[in-house]
A and B are shown apart, each in its own frame.
Chain A
Amino acid sequence: MSQQVLPFYLVCDESYSMDGAPIDAINKSLPEIHQEIGGNPVVADKTRFCLISFSSTAQVLLPLSDLSEVTSMPAMAASGSTSYTAAFTLLRDTIERDVAALKAAGHQVLRPAVFFLTDGQPTDDDWVSAYQRLTDPSWKPRPNILAFGFGGVNVDTIQQVATVRGFLADGSLGPAQALQEFAQSLIQSVINSGTSADAGGGMSLAMPDKVPGFTTVPADPV
């Protein structure tokens, strides 16, 4: 069976500044993401979902999965600093392995989509080289990155991290509500990607244009 699949990666900042309402909001939205995507048969069949968290280090909390088969997810817990290097390095290695495994299983793998969520400026200055490895044009599975920023992050950072589109919280909503909107836009994007075709009849990434509580910013070409 050569079925198309679209892998999604939620890469989430759990550095110390996320403690309290932000982390709680994300932990609360994970069951909803699970239900909306995993409970939608076609979408679950055509997409895969991976959860990565990072602070001083990065870890895969949920390996790339068919959400309809998942029964529990580790929760986020705030601690440490904000190392983008750790996040991007783990992300590249994980994508490399996941794409190879999906292909070996006979799938046609579409370019992975990354929802990158951060609330603070990176505490490592040298993250650019890890970022360049992740977005290297000669690396075939390089992902499309949507970057979401709130709290202390500045617009340049979001634009640098995003490859397709960035979103910056505009302060009109509190962090819990803004993160709820973030989760809704992630769910919508996954569902619409799995259920609407491009001109060739295949699947394609359906990106949010606007997210309530956020300003949309174009990605910065590198």
Chain B
Amino acid sequence: MSLLDGSDLRLGDLEVGDSLGRGGQGAVHELRGPWADYVYKEYLVPTVNGDALARLVRVPGGMPSHERDLLLAQAAWPLARVVDGGRVTGFLMPRVPAPFWGRRAKGPALRELQYLLYDPKPLWGDITPLDGPGRLEIARRAASLFLLLHSHRLVVGDVSMRNLLWSPSPPAVYLLDCDAIRRVGERPVLPQPQTPDWTDPQQPSTGPDLDTDRYKLALLVTRVLCKSPDLRPGEEPVFVPGLPERVKAEVAARFAEAARPRGLRPDAAQWVRALDERGTIELPPLPPVRTPPDLPKAPLGGGPIRRPTIRLRPPDRR
């Protein structure tokens, strides 16, 4: 049973501990006492949309339980607002679980996606980038997480090399900064900052939407598989070794399609299929839909239709 049922917590009831880090808009603090498994994000800007935050807190409760479990295992979801008097000062979220922490010389560090985008340095400590198959596992899980969020019309918005964490074994991903998430058409908790090299050139002036997320998912998947911090659709992906040919071909095709106009970019389901063990069958484009003329019908011939069987090639093995 969780200590948190979604109702607001009073700032005065928390034992706020050391600071874990500070972003543009907030500072994240450890908690002591009964809330030690959680961390407190304190907003440093005054313009917090408390209703938007309350809506986010209610999201997991509105999901079927298996989806809720999947979400909470993979995201630092806001679980309770923190208020002081009438003011919303921040929220509680789970502390990042142990597998997503690495160790550098001077202390723990989050295993951020960015460590999969560069050649390793001694300063990274025990954060060792993954090989091709390991990267594929991370990309798959990221695409599945986006599929889950998008099926609930939840927009991530600020997808970046710092907001997704990965663990080497078992392979897993964990999404940070979930207070930037909003449902399609709703306002975010705060106006969202952008991350350099992770911008959508076609982002609407009203802010990110599902289409923006699809573009950024294309960046995420392909950059991880190519170990590139700044590859963009339109450029030729050069993959790390150890990836199945079929996956490379499909990822390259989907990545090129992400350069298309809004509405025509591959969605999360297409990315899941492109990365799937199973593979997909490329179908020719459908002819334009026409309504058949309403003509008198001949009687149907009896007996079931005999279908020939198509033998499919087994998918490439990794």
Contact = CB atoms under 8 A, between A and B. Distances in A.
A38 B22 CA distance: 18
A80 interface: no
Nearest to A40: B114
Interface in B94-114: 104-106, 109, 114
Interface in A138-170: none
Interface string B103-143: 01110010000110110010111000000000000000000
Interface in A18-44: 31-32, 34-36, 38-42, 44
Interface stretch (A98-106, A113-121, A127-135, A191-199): A191-199
A78 interface: no
B23 interface: yes
Given A41-B118, A45-B229, A195 B123 contact: no
A195 B196 contact: yes
Contact of A39 (B23, B104, B162, B230): B104
Interface residues of B, number: 25
A139 to B, nearest CB: 26
A196 B194 contact: yes
B196 A35 contact: no
A35 B117 CA distance: 18
Given A39-B109, A46-B196, A197-B196, 15 more contacts: A3-B230, A4-B196, A35-B105, A38-B123, A39-B124, A40-B114, A41-B161, A42-B114, A45-B118, A194-B196, A195-B160, A196-B24, A196-B193, A196-B195, A197-B199
28 contacts: A3-B230, A34-B123, A35-B104, A38-B123, A39-B121, A40-B114, A41-B117, A42-B114, A42-B118, A42-B161, A42-B162, A42-B229, A45-B118, A45-B229, A68-B121, A69-B121, A188-B22, A195-B160, A195-B162, A196-B193, A196-B196, A197-B194, A197-B195, A197-B196, A201-B199, A202-B196, A203-B196, A206-B24
